[in-house]
Amino acid sequence: MLDKTGFPLEMTGEDTPMVSFRKVRKSYGALTVLDDLDLDISAGEMVSIIGPSGSGKTTVLRMLMTLERINGGVIYVDGKPLTHMPKGGQLVPANQRHLRSRRADIGMCFQHFNLFPHLTALENCMEGPVQVLGLSKAEARDRSEELLEMVGMISKKDQHPSRLSGGQQQRVAIARALAMRPKVMLFDEVTSALDPEVIGEVTNVIRQLVSEHNLTMLMVTHQMGFARDISDRVCFFYGGRIEEQGPPAELFGNPQRERTQQFLSAVREAV
């Protein structure tokens, strides 16, 4: 069923994408950051977003996490509208209650980690499960310790973030997001604030997630080598649109568009 503006109230069928941006627009005043973006991500797919700064890469993630409202279009998660809700056969902008019910499918890691400084690593991971999901402390602790073990941070579980290095904080932040059992994980330049020598410890955790878990992941990154290694698909953003997208081998190996070629050669020169 479609609403009068042509957006489906719900997406059904075998091939329903896990995430679907439909004609999504975002602008700040006169500045258009995203221009009628269409982007589908299948369940279990790992998609990397690359592009020059100001191209709208991070905005894609921020809108999917509902940190910012969109100005047009609809975002669907797991077939159901996220930014809108059905009301009388029409899609209307989502209220807080709808956002809370749909947002549970999405988890996010930030460039600057954003761990809660007043809580230990373990408490950071337990906070969401206990407060938001209503798990018992024992259950939340088991789940959190398991995840901290996975990211190699179990020995530091009683430390506050201020005592941890950037790489360690980011690994705890990944565990904290995973503890909410999201269907979709968003990584927003998670290695950009890290010293070069600790980037590997974070990318290794993400590699492990890709190979061992069936999560849908969307990652904004400046690390072309990493994106090439682990992505199923890479999207090159330019001027609020997807200029070019495809499997990493094709996009990096044989870019078709001039802007993609320029960007990639500029990045290579920088290295």
Residues making contact with other proteins (CB under 8 A): 65-67, 96, 100, 103-104, 106-108, 110, 112, 114-120, 127-128, 131-132, 160-163, 176-177, 180
**How far is it, in rounded angstroms, from Cα 215 to Cα 198?**
24
CB of 96 to other proteins, least distance (A): 8
Which C-beta is closer to other proteins: that of 151 or that of 234? Answer: 151
Which C-beta is closer to other proteins: that of 103 or that of 233? Answer: 103
Q: Strand, coil or helix: what is 91?
A: strand
Say if residue 146 is exposed, middle or buried (CB neighbours under 10 Å; 0-12, 13-18, 19+). Answer: middle
**How far is it, in rounded angstroms, from Cα 31 to Cα 49?**
21
Which C-beta is closer to other proteins: that of 180 or that of 251? Answer: 180
Tracing tokens 């072309």 back to the chain, one arrives at 224
Q: Alpha-carbon dihedral of residues 202, 66, 107, 37, nearest 10 degrees?
A: -70
CB of 6 to other proteins, least distance (A): 30
Which C-beta is closer to other proteins: that of 176 or that of 233? Answer: 176
DSSP assigned state of 112:
T
Q: In what order do the strands lie in the sheet with 31-41?
A: 31-41, 19-28, 72-77, 80-81
Which C-beta is closer to other proteins: that of 90 or that of 111? Answer: 111
**How far is it, in rounded angstroms, from Cα 215 to Cα 45?**
7
**How far is it, in rounded angstroms, from Cα 71 to Cα 189?**
24
CB of 103 to other proteins, least distance (A): 5
Q: Strand, coil or helix: what is 247?
A: coil
Which residues, in sequence order, are bridge partners of residue 108? 186
CB of 106 to other proteins, least distance (A): 8
CB of 162 to other proteins, least distance (A): 6
Which C-beta is closer to other proteins: that of 23 or that of 160? Answer: 160
CB of 212 to other proteins, least distance (A): 22
Query: Residues 255, 256, 260, 262: is their CA dihedral positive or negative?
Result: positive
CB of 128 to other proteins, least distance (A): 4
Which C-beta is closer to other proteins: that of 102 or that of 233? Answer: 102
Q: Strand, coil or helix: what is 11?
A: coil
